[in-house]
Amino acid sequence: MERDDTWICSEDIIASGVKPDGITFIAVLTACNHSGLVDLGFQIFNSMQSEHGVDPALDQYTCIIDCLGRAGHFQDVELLMEKMPYKDDPVVWEVVLSCCIVHGNVSLAERAAVELFRLDPESSTPYVLLANIYSSLGRWNDARAIRVWRADE
Ligand SMILES: *[C@@H]1O[C@H](CO)[C@@H](O)[C@H](O)[C@H]1NC(C)=O
Ligand SMILES: *[C@@H]1O[C@H](CO)[C@@H](O)[C@H](O)[C@H]1NC(C)=O
């Protein structure tokens, strides 16, 4: 476990005696994300409900999914995607999709893109991002298929 200023700060906030609320956890998880403290962030996220009785809201999910996704911890991302109650919010899927692009995770990128198509069929963003991930992996036919499919609509 990494121990640095973020660790001390997070522990201090949580242990300060003031009952942590959603805002406290956004602050702590944002700090973990910015410092790349993935394991600590995930541990704190998982303690929210079990130890502090705070239900993670969309903001906390977005933050931890971004943190895990940037680090390429896609199995944990997938776990959270399945249990999160915010499946109708495009922000989360955009975060998942952009992390997949960074790490070239096509299978998960496709799932995120499908959710984005479902939520906003008018938006061209998921089409463009998916075409880009195929192109970056040399999957030109898939990239072209998406462009054609899009142009047909
Ligand atoms: C996570 O950290 C990165 C890098 O500092 C930042 O660009 C991104 O916006 C952060 N995500 C969230 C949800 O705060
Ligand atoms: C992509 O994400 C899945 C989880 O949905 C994970 O099991 C797989 O290992 C990831 N693949 C790559 C190339 O990162």
First to last CA, the chain: 50
> With a 6 A CB cut-off, is 82 part of the ligand 2 pocket?
no
% of the chain with per-residue pLDDT over 90:
65
6 and 55 both lie in a single domain? yes
Please give the pLDDT value at position 2. Answer: 47
d(CA 2, CA 116): 35
d(CA 64, CA 49): 14
Residue with CA nearest ligand 1 atom 13:
63
69 and 121 both lie in a single domain? no
Q: Is it the case that residue 112 has pLDDT exceeding 90?
A: yes
d(CA 137, CA 139): 6
**What is the Å distance from ligand 2's center to 126 Cα?**
19
Average pLDDT of the segment spanning 38-66: 95
Domain boundary among 82, 104, 139: 82
98 and 75 both lie in a single domain? no
36 and 52 both lie in a single domain? yes
**What is the Å distance from ligand 1's center to 148 Cα?**
33
**What is the Å distance from ligand 1's center to 141 Cα?**
33
> With a 6 A CB cut-off, is 107 part of the ligand 2 pocket?
yes
Residue with CA nearest ligand 1 atom 2:
34
Residue with CA nearest ligand 1 atom 6:
34
51 and 93 both lie in a single domain? no
- 1 confidence band (pLDDT: 50, 70, 90): very low
Average pLDDT of the segment spanning 42-46: 95
d(CA 93, CA 89): 7
Range of the domain at 76: 1-82
**What is the Å distance from ligand 2's center to 41 Cα?**
20
Tens digit of each residue's pLDDT (9 = 90 or more) over 2-23: 445 555 556 666 666 678 899 9
93 and 77 both lie in a single domain? no
Domain boundary among 82, 108, 129: 82
Domain boundary among 58, 82, 106: 82
Ligand closest to Cα of 105 equals 2
Q: Are 103 and 72 in contact (CB under 8 A)?
A: yes
